[in-house]
Structures are given as C-alpha cells and as structure tokens.
Chain A
Amino acid sequence: MIRINNLTKRYEKLTAVDNLSLNIEQSEVFGLLGINGAGKTTVIHMLSTLLKPTSGSATVNGFDIQKEPEKVRSSIGIVFQVPSSDDLLTGYENLQIHAMLYGVDPDMREKRIKDALELVGLTERKDDQVKKYSGGMRRRLEIARGLIHSPKVLFLDEPTLGLDPSSRETMWKYIQQLVKQEKLTIILTTHYMEEADMLCNRIGIMDKGKIIALDTPTNLKLMLGGDIVKLKLKKQDSDISILKDLQCVKKIELLDGYVILGVDDAKKNIPEILKHVEAESVESSSPTLSDVFLKLTGKNIKEQAEGGFMERYVQYDKH
C-alpha cells in the first residue's frame, strides 16, 4: 500500500529524514515511534504530498507522491498533530465542507457524514461549533473528517498528543473500533509507547531520521530477553544451578538476596520454575516498548551495560 525508497528530507543543516526505505502492507496498522524531532511528522508530510522530498521516492496506493499528488491526496485521510478544523463552524459543517472538497458523491454525502459522526461518537454534538468541543472531541472530529471520503490510507500524527489520560483511552477505543470496522491501512506516529504497543501490528522505531528497528511489538519486546521474574528464596543458599538448565530461563542474576531471572512467557513458566526452587515470594513483570526504546535510542553506555537487563530490573524495583 505504501512503498518508500530512500526517502530523504534535508534542511540546511539538519537531515530530518535520512534515506528511509519501508513497505507498508494493506490493512496494516503501522506505528512510527520516536521522540520529538526524530522525523516522524516529516515522513507523514512527505507521504501526504505537503512537503517535497530532497531525494528518494514513495508511492501511496500505487500513486507516486511527486508525480501524482492529487491522486495520492484523494487516497489518504490525515489527522494532523494540531487539530485543524474550523472553530467557528459546527462539527457537521466541517465534515460537509470536507466531503465536498474531496468530491464525495452528493447522494452519498449525508450518509458518509452520519456514519463518520457515529463512528467517533459525535452525533449528539454535531450542530455545536467546534470551539465548544473538548480536546478529545476535536481529535475525534478530525478522525471523522479524515474518513469522510473513504480513504485507503489514514495517517494519524500523534493522535493523542496533549490529551488527558481518560480522553486518550477513549481515543484508543475509537481507533481500535475503526481498525475493526473499516479495512484501512493506518500509519500512526506517536511518542507514547503504550499507544504504539496497544494499537499497532508493526512498529518502526525512528531516531535521527532513520528507522533503527522494525518489527511487531511482541518481537521488539523479545529483543530484551523476555519477562523478568524476581524470586526471594526460602533458603538463601539453595542451589539454583538447576534453573540454568530450564529452557524458558534465559538469564540468571543475583541482587540483594533476590534471584532475578529473564524468562520467556513468565505467566506460563513460573509454575515450572517453582517446581525446582522453593521461593518465599515471586514477582514478575513484562518489558514494555519503553524499555526497547530506551535500549535502542538511549546512549551507548546503556547498550554496553549488558542489554540493560539489570537496569530494567532496577527500574521496575522503583515502581
């Protein structure tokens, strides 16, 4: 659905996007994860034809972003970082105007608007001016607007930036519903790790204009050596060497009288582990994308520190 070849955007001194190549398949929910300034929005702007690449090429829905920009624009819906609906118009009017701009068939228009409003839960507020909407409602209106012309691809640029936690969860709910109902390809940028984890099939971690890791959220987390299990043994001097032979145990370390294990699928394997040692207490935690991100983009020092395994443990201990 999207093919990107060596896409580059260079400003005078800064290379915002550096030789990016990437394929995104149909119906995929793809996440671009990175800190501010990593180049995520620049990628979106280039793919949506708002910004000309310095070099490289890309196609969206089979159309070249530089040679056929209007066809690309007809194929995509986009939700910008900053809501861009007109404050003085009502939600309905914003959708109506955009339906016309996108050339939605007049016979279909009313139905599309009605469906879009329903999907984002704004039917009751459709005749209120947008200036009376909350931040979350504005974002949802943007999504409705992005869907009004039944696009093939939907870009969501930081869809929950600046929303409070409960609005963010509502937004996630709507996006998940969207994925279920419409057979859309979605490209989402975010710097919230939980968001990428929850919504995306595949994630590209961006840093300094490059994609430094590309995989499913699960595989990315596996890169860190699985879940962490923390045991306090009944007898301090018990023999734990047997744990080394268990297939599910990847790492063993000792810290302050605790045994810290790196384990594949802790939930399933803890009983197995407990067959071999007697423990007073057991705690387990799963790595998050934050950990992956920290490991990949964090300073080299962290990478050198044995995959950050102990560091992660220390982090969890603080919580």
Chain B
Amino acid sequence: MYNMTSIRVYADKIYALWLREVKVFFREKSRLVASTFTPLLWLFVIGSGFSSSTSVATHLDYQKFIFPGIICMSVVFSSVFFGSYIIWDRKFDFLKSVMVAPVSRSTIFTGKTFGGMTNSLIQVSILLVVGLIIGVQFSPLALIQTVVIVLLLSFALTSLGLTLGSYMTSLEGFQMIISFVVFPLFFLSGALFPIDKLPQWLSILTTVDPVTYAVDALRNIILGIGSHSLGLDLIILLLYSCVLGALGTYSFKRMKAV
C-alpha cells in the first residue's frame, strides 16, 4: 500500500502544516521579538547582576554558567507556548478547517511538533550567536550535539503544550500553563543554579523535571561540566520525548473537533 505517491502525499501534508507554523512564526512580529528578548534579559541582567555576588561552585563566571540554562529557558517558553497556542487555532476555527481535511490526527500532531521544533531552533540559533559574543566557545561537534538536545527537549515540551492545549477550551487556561507549567519547568531545572547540593525536597523536584537533563546535557557539551553523564541525560530526554509524544498523539486523537 505504501507506494511512492502515498508517501509523497503524506510528506506534503506534514510540510503544509509545518509551513503554516513557520510562516506564522515569522509574521507574528511581537511574539518573535518578545520571545527572543526575554532570554537575553535573563542572560544579561540576571547573569551580570549575580556574577558579582554569587559564588557558584565552579570556576566559571555566572553569566557563562547560566548560558546553557538560558538556552533551555528559551526552548521551554517557545515550545510550551507554541503547543498551547492551538487554543487560538481552535478559537479562530483554523484547526477545524484542518481537521475536516483528509489528514489524520497523528499527522496533524507531527506537523505541529515539527513547527514547534523549528521555532525553538531558530530562537536558539540567535542565542548561540549571542553566546559567541559573550565568549562562549564551541566546536562543530558541540554545535551538532546542542542542536540534537534542543530538538529533543523541544519535541518533548511541544508535545506537552499540545497535550495541555488539546484539553483546554478557553484562553484563560493559558495563564494557568504559564504559572503551573512553564515557570516550574524552568526554575526547577537548575538552569540558574548547580543541582548538586540542593535540599532534598528541591532535589526530588529537579530530578522529575525533564528540563534538568537538557540543562545538564548542554552544560556537559558547552562548558564541560555536568552532574550526570551526557549519555544518561540523553537517554532520559529520549524517554520523556517518547512518553510525551505518545501522550500528545493520544490527546489529539480524542480531541473534539467542534
């Protein structure tokens, strides 16, 4: 059954869904500017401000230390927001017009996550250039590894956002996601502090947070320091991606169209 034509048609459908997301991403100027500006604010204000007063248990200056964390922050924000943006698609009926097309729900889900991953990657690219400016060095291998980690984290969190968005019907839910999902994911990840010597209650929470492993992986890759091995970080991120991806696909299948 899977001849070349049907594969091409399937690829076209994914491409169409992806293309729409990327075009919208570049045209929503305010969203683009805001989501690029926030991580920079953290990097320069928090990074510089704490550099003078905090003694992080490393020989690095604080700004460089949080750089991997800020990359992950940008991915957390862009991915979860992107996913939950389907509430808008739903509100403006665009989603309905996609669901009435001969496109399966899992295809819609895949197209959407590809869109989310692309968005994250574009934002991270901007941050990597900023990193070069503040003196963070990377090898070509490190760059490839960074991209892989970013894509994995973005896939997992876009799936999470899409899952949450598929269950929500009102825009008020958006605020809940920011307070109860986005901020905890970011703050508990150890993006801003080393996770080795935390009180136990906090340590448990950071262990459950998938972002922790992305931050740790990027610290391994970019700064050569980390609490876990890169391999372990990668395996856990893969596991989270599978679970959240499956959850998202399931949620999409049971989502009501009208």
Q: Which positions in A face B, CB cutoff 8 Å? A: 45, 48-51, 70-71, 73-74, 76, 78, 80, 82-89, 93, 96-98, 100-103, 106, 129, 145
Q: Known: A100-B15, A101-B13. Is A80-B96 also a contact (CB below 8 A)?
A: yes
Which residues in B have their C-beta under 8 angstroms from that of A100? 12-13, 15-16
Contact of B257 among A51, A71, A83, A97 (CB under 8 A): A51
Q: Answer whether A50 and B94 are a contact pair too, CB < 8 Å, given A93-B23, A100-B12, A103-B9.
A: no
How far is the CB of A110 from the nearest CB of chain B, in Å? 14
Answer yes or no: B133 CB below 8 A from chain A CBs.
no
- From 14 to 48 in chain B, residues with beta carbon under 8 angstroms from any chain A beta carbon are 15-17, 19-20, 23-24, 27-28
Known interface pairs A85-B94, A97-B17; 10 further A-B residue pairs with C-beta atoms within 8 A, sorted by A's residue number: A49-B100, A50-B100, A51-B257, A70-B104, A88-B27, A88-B28, A96-B16, A97-B16, A100-B12, A103-B12
- The answer on a CB contact under 8 Å between B104 and A89 is no
Number of interface residues of B (CB under 8 A): 26
Q: Smallest CB-CB separation from B99: which chain A residue?
A: A50
Contact B102 A70 (CB under 8 A): yes
Residues of A within 8 A of B235 (CB): none
B101 sits at the interface (CB 8 A): yes
Q: Which of B98, B257, B258 contacts A101 (CB 8 A)?
A: B98
- Chain A residues with CB under 8 Å of B55's CB are none
Given known pairs A84-B92, A101-B103, the reply for A51 and B258 (CB within 8 Å) is: yes
Chain B residues with CB under 8 Å of A102's CB are 101-102
Is B97 interfacial (CB 8 A cutoff)? yes
A78 to B258 CA separation, bound complex (whole angstroms):
14
B110 to chain A, nearest CB (A): 13
B residues less than 8 Å from A49 (CB atoms)? 100
Known contacts A98-B97, A145-B97; is A87 also within 8 Å of B92 by CB? yes
Query: Is B93 part of the contact surface with A, judged by Cβ < 8 Å?
Result: yes
State how many angstroms separate the Cβ of A202 from the closest Cβ of chain B: 24
Most buried by A among B15, B17, B102: B102
* Interface bits B60-98 vs A (CB < 8 Å: 1, else 0): 000000000000000000000000000000001110111
- Considering only CB atoms, which chain A residue lies closest to B10 in the complex? A103
How long is the Cα–Cα vector from A103 to B13 in the complex, in angstroms? Answer: 7
Pairwise interchain contact A50-B257, C-beta atoms closer than 8 A: yes
Smallest CB separation, B215 vs chain A (Å): 33
Q: Which residues of B contact A76 (CB under 8 A)?
A: 100
- Smallest beta-carbon distance B13→chain A, Å: 6
Q: B24 to chain A: which residues have CB within 8 Å?
A: 86, 88-89
A84-B258 contact given A48-B100, A89-B20, CB 8 Å threshold: no
Contacts of A86 in B (CB 8 A): 20, 24, 94
Taking the closest CB of chain B, its distance from the CB of A72, in whole angstroms, is 9
Contact A74 B102 (CB under 8 A): yes
Please indicate the chain A residues that have their CB under 8 angstroms from the CB of B97 in the complex.
78, 80, 84-85, 98, 145
- List residues of chain A with CB within 8 A of the CB of B103: 101
The CA of A85 and the CA of B257, in the complex, are separated in Å by: 16
Inter-chain CA distance A45–B96, complex, in Å, is: 10
Q: What chain A residues lie within 8 Å of B17 (beta carbons)?
A: 97, 101
Interface core residue of B12, B19, B23, B100 (most chain A CB under 10 Å)? B100
Closest 10 CB pairs of A and B: A100-B16, A84-B93, A50-B257, A84-B97, A101-B101, A103-B9, A74-B102, A73-B102, A88-B27, A100-B12
Report how far A97 CA is from B18 CA in the complex, Å.
Answer: 10
Chain A contacts for B19, CB-based, 8 A: 97
* Neighbour of B23 across the interface among A84, A85, A88, CB < 8 A: A88
A19 to B50, CA, bound (A): 70
Residues of A within 8 A of B104 (CB): 70
The CA of A174 and the CA of B256, in the complex, are separated in Å by: 32
Asked if B96 and A50 make an inter-chain contact with CB atoms under 8 angstroms apart, the answer reads: yes
- The reply to whether A84 and B96 contact each other, CB–CB distance below 8 Å, is yes
CB distance from B172 to the nearest CB of A (A): 20
- For B23, the chain A residues whose CB sits under 8 A away are 88-89, 93
